[in-house]
Structure 1
């Protein structure tokens, strides 16, 4: 079978191009906002935690609603959900660009970042499900390597484009999504992808449980740097969120038509791939936020120069993702996933050792190595996990993997953000005391500086000792990332089995299905 029934006779490459443009906005927004963070913070007067929420609210909404989006795709229709997701995402992007200054700014931008995340959660599982149904299993690794590789390349454009757009106005980083959305809608209309779906009732109880669980647990970690770990509210939020997620699993096992068929985790490879993805995603999205701030605060780079800094990460990522896809098709997921995690760990460790030298040129090859490691593992792990599902559950399987990925990314940003702020505050306090400031005053001053991430003026106004202190705080974060990726490598090495998988069998009980009307 060279082309699945879902291709509808249309050229598969046109379908692939349409889906790449559809999800391009979600990939671009994972990095383009990070580049503009210092400028957004200065113009809108946001705290360090507030601006992290502007990044994290998007990821948290994706994590909370991806399972819902995957279920909608499988039950309502993949193409309908892609189109709806594109429209919601583009509309929310426009509103983010219209964020007013003043007291409403933080609530406004966080709200519409949540709506953006909702649009992405509806769109992405449906788009990936279309690609998976369009290509046969033995061609799927290469197709999804192209999918993730080009999407990753578009993500690489995000920092560069964001840097130049920010020199005009940071608001343009959101408005740029609108022409991308138009191109995506035109390509979808031309490709008219046809896929199979199965009408079923929606599990709103499960949706409420997973959304609340994800939201509360991430909120607890995110607020820890403001309230402090001694505040009982932090522990209560995290505990309540985790309990709700446990309740979600228990309820889903007893629900006739669940949001997520949790029994799919009995498939060892699916469970291990998701565990590896979850561990790796503690690093993958947060690195753009922290590297961008490091480049602009510690190195004194402009936003466009910071974009070029992140481009080196994606040079390694895009090339390695193509190699990883071919390795998946030839011999299965274990080798590229394990190799990728190990390379990424080494890259981050070497990168961390150089950041305090405040010399960009000494870091380049380690940035490339870290990106290459992530490229080797990300596409094969995601592809292999989704391919374990039956044809009628690709959207659901995608929803699960993306829920895991984005929940982990939200936690990673919150936890590593806490590490960054606490380390930065500690070092600035010590530096101020060394310069003769009383301990109490130094602590208060350091708390204010750490929440403004170096100050609210331009980067040229940041004292040299603050730059160095921020670099040391970044080093702690990058070493933590190296350790996280080393854990992922160990899990992949001992958890995954060698060899290629076979085409998954459908349920022994025939299930009525419908094909989307191509008209």
Structure 2
């Protein structure tokens, strides 16, 4: 097995090849930002167009949910594979392949024909979008890491994560604007973005490097099956119910497959993921901090948006602007976090970020029942700042400690952990929100004189709004019961806000746990003059056994 470092890493390596000037680095960073921006925007943009797609193509609500989930499932299942392919075949090459697969799939999603095959068509090409993103993202991140020396890497990755993460909030806003023309444009918009990314990548003259190793096909199949099954179980828990045999069969079955995968990898000479990296305590702490932080970071986009539309009666575009409070804090703090990483290492940034995040989410939760955006923005910004401080330092520190400079492999691993945590967060918090909302709305409507049956139906409608239909909470019809329900909507909005408090307090607890994990970080700083203390120091550790 090859264990010599790639350019810019390993013992005594100070950065990318000589002659790599700052303008080429900037072009490479810009190219990677344009490429990954598509993956972040697509996580939220489809949800805005879902009602229009359902109406025009005649899809069922469950079918539309599969259209959304197909992307996320493929993303989670193939991230580790994407990172490994990036190492073996070259970061630039795999980024280009992933970008082309993503944009071609996007075009075909927008060209979906009407008729019985529409749902299957969308699910297939949304899954291929997810596969393209899984190839593209770890390769793009590896390119940024490879072209920037360790001493400048923190700021570069802070910009990478800050800008690309903020683009998630652009999805709903951009989707609302594009739908004035046609909902199909939410997929076609990826074409000009991909062209810009590919042109900039060509101009940057990104150096290519490869690891001469075989692809661990059995490992790739096991990790894809394990991640796919368990994520499917978490995603479908709200539809199947937590008491469903199918839910737990997927979750437990997926975890068992992942356990088999780990055992298999320890005995393979050239594994998909070298698990020996977890022997570095700092790397393990980085992964734990990312896991617990991601329980809040990705789900907050979804729950804050739905809260704004239901409790604050905001439009989708106004809900997107509401999320900008969070991203203002996130964007500013991500730059500071990168500077702290470069000067003092990851531990101070992670401790500060997790502490601010825990406090910010708790204070934000306390203000949700005020039903005023104006009262909430400082706490939303504080919560965003907490995530901004920790995200790039934890991710960068983990990659700096990678075995044998396996950038793609470890970026794939970190992104797999992040997506897995996000799926769990959405499922668990979604279940909490649904149950608490249903109980509170039923009590409110019955106290206002609404019959039990109608109260339960209305409560379910509000709860179903959590799955992406913000109009579901608005009762329609005529007569005494409909009038009673419409008169109760102010109280129902407050009920939904109180239910969301449980979710946001849960996010605060997740960040508090991440804070405790950050304290376990050894605090050693990876610099240009100090090679990362990874298990790559011995061939035995590189094999993970």
C-alpha distance in 1, partners of 2:379/2:53? 29
Which position in structure 2 is the counterpart of 1:503?
531
C-alpha distance in 2, partners of 1:73/1:406? 19
Relative to 1, partners in 2 of residues 1:110 and 1:70: Cα closer, same or farther, differing over 3 Å? same
SS of the residue aligned with 1:199? coil
C-alpha distance in 1, partners of 2:445/2:60? 21
Which position in structure 1 is the counterpart of 2:8?
none
Query: Where in structure 1 are there 5+ consecutive unaligned residues?
Result: 511-519
Which position in structure 1 is the counterpart of 2:420?
407
Which position in structure 1 is the counterpart of 2:502?
476
Give the TM-score of the pair, scaled to structure 1: 0.90
Shift of 1:446: 2.9
Relative to 1, partners in 2 of residues 1:503 and 1:34: Cα closer, same or farther, differing over 3 Å? farther
Relative to 1, partners in 2 of residues 1:27 and 1:207: Cα closer, same or farther, differing over 3 Å? same
C-alpha distance in 2, partners of 1:196/1:104? 42
Matched residue pairs, number?
Answer: 510
1:4 aligns with 2:4: no
Which position in structure 1 is the counterpart of 2:493?
467
Which position in structure 1 is the counterpart of 2:518?
492
**Contact 1:6-1:193 within 8 A present in 2 as well:** no
Q: How does 1:248-267 map to 2 (within 5 A)?
A: 248-267=261-280
Relative to 1, partners in 2 of residues 1:6 and 1:384: Cα closer, same or farther, differing over 3 Å? farther
Q: Deviations over 1:424-455 (max 9, x none)?
A: 22222223322334435533553354225576
Shift of 1:340: 0.6
Relative to 1, partners in 2 of residues 1:455 and 1:156: Cα closer, same or farther, differing over 3 Å? closer
Relative to 1, partners in 2 of residues 1:379 and 1:95: Cα closer, same or farther, differing over 3 Å? same
Q: Deviations over 1:129-188 (max 9, x none)?
A: 111111111111112112222323444443432342344444333222111101001111
Which position in structure 1 is the counterpart of 2:74?
61
Shift of 1:82: 0.5
1:198 aligns with 2:224: no
Which position in structure 2 is the counterpart of 1:92?
105
C-alpha distance in 2, partners of 1:449/1:46? 21
1:386 aligns with 2:399: yes
Q: How does 1:75-224 map to 2 (within 5 A)?
A: 75-99=88-112, 107-224=120-237
SS of the residue aligned with 2:519? helix
Relative to 1, partners in 2 of residues 1:343 and 1:237: Cα closer, same or farther, differing over 3 Å? same
Relative to 1, partners in 2 of residues 1:101 and 1:434: Cα closer, same or farther, differing over 3 Å? farther
C-alpha distance in 2, partners of 1:7/1:451? 57
Shift of 1:98: 4.0
Which position in structure 2 is the counterpart of 1:427?
440
SS of the residue aligned with 2:272? coil
Q: 2:317 aligns with which of 304, 326, 330?
A: 304
The range that moved more, 31-40 or 301-310, is 31-40
**Contact 1:222-1:415 within 8 A present in 2 as well:** no
C-alpha distance in 2, partners of 1:195/1:505? 25
SS of the residue aligned with 2:273? coil
Relative to 1, partners in 2 of residues 1:13 and 1:257: Cα closer, same or farther, differing over 3 Å? same
C-alpha distance in 2, partners of 1:17/1:246? 38
C-alpha distance in 2, partners of 1:113/1:349? 36
Q: Deviations over 1:222-253 (max 9, x none)?
A: 22223323322222221111111111100111
Q: Deviations over 1:248-299 (max 9, x none)?
A: 1001111222111111111111111011101111111111111111222222
SS of the residue aligned with 2:277? helix
The range that moved more, 497-506 or 87-96, is 497-506
The range that moved more, 469-478 or 159-168, is 159-168
**Contact 1:81-1:123 within 8 A present in 2 as well:** yes
**Contact 1:64-1:407 within 8 A present in 2 as well:** no
Q: 1:325 aligns with which of 329, 338, 342?
A: 338
Query: Where in structure 2 are there 5+ consecutive unaligned residues?
Result: 1-12, 477-485, 540-545
**Contact 1:2-1:135 within 8 A present in 2 as well:** no
Which position in structure 2 is the counterpart of 1:350?
363
SS of the residue aligned with 1:11? helix
C-alpha distance in 1, partners of 2:70/2:430? 14
Which position in structure 2 is the counterpart of 1:289?
302
**Contact 1:93-1:112 within 8 A present in 2 as well:** yes
C-alpha distance in 2, partners of 1:433/1:423? 16
1:416 aligns with 2:429: yes
Instruction: Output the aligned Cα RMSD.
Output: 2.8
Relative to 1, partners in 2 of residues 1:202 and 1:222: Cα closer, same or farther, differing over 3 Å? same
**Contact 1:42-1:457 within 8 A present in 2 as well:** no
The range that moved more, 490-499 or 281-290, is 490-499
Relative to 1, partners in 2 of residues 1:132 and 1:313: Cα closer, same or farther, differing over 3 Å? same
Q: 1:225 aligns with which of 238, 245, 252?
A: 238
C-alpha distance in 1, partners of 2:115/2:494? 32
C-alpha distance in 1, partners of 2:175/2:67? 16
Relative to 1, partners in 2 of residues 1:337 and 1:40: Cα closer, same or farther, differing over 3 Å? farther
1:244 aligns with 2:257: yes
Q: Deviations over 1:334-390 (max 9, x none)?
A: 111111111111111111112222211111111111111110000111011011115
SS of the residue aligned with 1:423? helix
C-alpha distance in 2, partners of 1:460/1:108? 33
